[in-house]
A and B are shown apart, each in its own frame.
Chain A
């Protein structure tokens, strides 16, 4: 368990000033061809995210939020429109360039954890560093720190099947953090957890946000979205609303 962060009276949470622009999406569309049918998953989305924002992307299924998440995570490229990540145009990048961006700039947290089943927590967390070319000793040290950070310092040599769901998701969060990414992108991070464990994970995200991280959570649960400071709602491939939530949910 992570101890709650000390309250900081000097900077009220809601008034935290925004840092530089990280994500700049302008008028992005995405078309899918399913057989004869053409699906407009995104019909022209414009979205800016600054450093140290805490954003929830919401919407019913079919609203295009998964497509938007894939786009934000550089897993997919738009059919039209423009996407700049940290000032770099990623809308026309090749597969391997996108892989490099994902490796350095984006920390993914998935609903199903997506850990390597036969590897220890430590090795799972080391994986992004392996792909980044970090030497073994430094790699191990940083992975250890990341696991300590999420409160799993004593579970480093456990494999996923020896951990509870909450612990697995913590390993995934540590893996997302270990390369110091520009954003942490969580896709229904509590979807496979009971509500108490889910709250604990959200509490972890709150803490990471307090420590200066930029967090984007994709969810359809209002309870989860209430942790964020800004809520973007999608419907039918368009942004329906984008507003700052005044007061975060009390834990």
Chain B
């Protein structure tokens, strides 16, 4: 109990001295803290950018759906031996129908539903308004079971419209905004690359996919209508929803088997289709992401290390200047630990001050960036503040330790004689 009390008094005494020391050497302390401030600003901003980018990645990937397989002629990644793929027969709309029939006939199937999807870029016009670079795609009414995107207004086409290949469409949020700035587009007829199409719904805002394209710049219509307007000879993609996303592996096996039946493949024949999934994107992106993050953190850590060297230097100077004081303190009963703590806390205090200012500056920069570039993916969080403070305390401890250790080992006789 007494030992604990003594430690507490020593700590408060150390903080008191540290504070007095910093106040007595304002310029020196501020210059030293500046190194830490710059380091902390760099590290926190880099971390803010990294967590923002990571969040963006995750959002984008979740748009693909955790529980959806994509059956294509080509794999998304790594199709170097293209001659193996080029001669595969295209995937057709009726493959989806057959697949759905097999799934219905399979007891305890892990698959839910498959929908075909064919798409292309196009321009959409209404009156004098025109937007280019829109991604139009056709699918079936069952797309409603796969997509969980909300509607601002209206609805997806129903089975009757689907079967009748009616020229109706749902607009992405930005398309609707651009063509119908102040009114509802429902019931209006837009032209999609010259083909008239009645608007029956508008999707809610979804955002961009990895900054590559925007889900809000799309337009959805029945696959039959799409086929009439643009044709589907180049094939479609099948999106297959799984019932239970904890069983993706088994579901994939079932899907491959079912697809081989759909395509009438013989045993021993290689699959003439590829089952893609979100996981492939992740596997592709993760190493890239990791290298960017590691490089960023290493580079910004450099500036923190420079700050740490400044702290170490100033602590050495402080120990040297106060050698006689160390002697006096030892003479009146300061232990090694007491002296060690005193100088360590001095180093840490400067770092804490630097850390607080650094985080403040970083937050101001962050607000400025967000104000100027709202789409820049950066995130500022409590975790970040904690990381910043931990980094600065660690900097203080690591850089202050060697000089403080040296001070604690000083021989009191020698220290008292020091002038």
Listed in ascending order, the chain A residues whose CB lies under 8 Å from chain B are 70, 73, 75-76, 95-96, 99-100, 102-104, 108, 110, 114-116, 118-119, 127-128, 130-136, 175, 179
- On whether the beta carbons of B412 and A133 are closer than 8 Å, the reply is no
Provide the residues of chain B in CB contact with A135, threshold 8 Å.
5, 9
- On whether the beta carbons of A75 and B10 are closer than 8 Å, the reply is no
- On whether the beta carbons of B5 and A108 are closer than 8 Å, the reply is no
Provide the residues of chain B in CB contact with A179, threshold 8 Å.
333
- On whether the beta carbons of B329 and A127 are closer than 8 Å, the reply is yes
Question: Of A75, A99, A128, A132, which is within 8 A of B416 by CB?
Answer: A75
Provide the residues of chain B in CB contact with A134, threshold 8 Å.
9
Q: With A76-B413, A132-B6, A133-B6 as given contacts, are A100 and B333 in contact (CB-CB < 8 Å)?
A: yes
Q: Does residue B266 face the partner (Cβ distance < 8 Å to A)?
A: no
A132, B335: Cα distance in complex, Å: 10
Provide the residues of chain B in CB contact with A70, threshold 8 Å.
413
Provide the residues of chain A in CB contact with B338, threshold 8 Å.
131
Question: What is the minimal beta-carbon distance from A100 to any residue of chain B, in angstroms?
Answer: 7
As a 0/1 sequence over residues 315 to 356 of chain B, the CB contacts with chain A under 8 angstroms (1 = contact) are: 000000000110111111111111000000000000000000
- On whether the beta carbons of B333 and A103 are closer than 8 Å, the reply is yes
Provide the residues of chain B in CB contact with A115, threshold 8 Å.
328
Question: Of B324, B327, B334, which is within 8 A of A131 by CB?
Answer: B334
Q: Which residue of chain A lies nearest to B5 when distances are taken between CB atoms in the complex?
A: A133
Provide the residues of chain A in CB contact with B330, threshold 8 Å.
75, 99, 102
Q: Does residue B302 face the partner (Cβ distance < 8 Å to A)?
A: no
Pull 30 A–B residue pairs with CB atoms less than 8 Å apart, ordered by A: A70-B413, A76-B413, A96-B336, A96-B337, A99-B333, A99-B334, A99-B336, A100-B333, A102-B330, A103-B332, A103-B333, A104-B333, A108-B332, A110-B328, A110-B331, A114-B325, A114-B331, A118-B20, A118-B24, A127-B332, A128-B332, A128-B333, A131-B333, A131-B335, A131-B338, A132-B333, A133-B5, A133-B9, A135-B9, A136-B9
Question: What is the minimal beta-carbon distance from A123 to any residue of chain B, in angstroms?
Answer: 8
Provide the residues of chain A in CB contact with B9, threshold 8 Å.
130, 133-136
Q: Which residue of chain B lies nearest to A175 when distances are taken between CB atoms in the complex?
A: B332
Q: Does residue B3 face the partner (Cβ distance < 8 Å to A)?
A: yes
Provide the residues of chain A in CB contact with B335, threshold 8 Å.
95-96, 99-100, 131
- On whether the beta carbons of A131 and B328 are closer than 8 Å, the reply is no
Question: Of A102, A119, A127, A131, which is within 8 A of B6 by CB?
Answer: A131
Q: Name the 3 nearest CB pairs between A and B, nearest first.
A: A103-B333, A133-B6, A114-B328
Provide the residues of chain B in CB contact with A76, threshold 8 Å.
413
- On whether the beta carbons of A116 and B325 are closer than 8 Å, the reply is yes
Provide the residues of chain A in CB contact with B20, threshold 8 Å.
118-119
Q: Which residue of chain B lies nearest to A116 when distances are taken between CB atoms in the complex?
A: B325
Best-surrounded residue of A99, A110, A115, A136 (most CB of chain B within 10 A): A99
A114, B328: Cα distance in complex, Å: 6
Provide the residues of chain B in CB contact with A127, threshold 8 Å.
13, 329, 332
Provide the residues of chain A in CB contact with B331, threshold 8 Å.
73, 75, 102, 108, 110, 114
Q: With A114-B324, A131-B338 as given contacts, are A75 and B332 in contact (CB-CB < 8 Å)?
A: no
Provide the residues of chain B in CB contact with A114, threshold 8 Å.
324-325, 327-328, 331, 416
- On whether the beta carbons of A131 and B10 are closer than 8 Å, the reply is yes
Q: Does residue B372 face the partner (Cβ distance < 8 Å to A)?
A: no
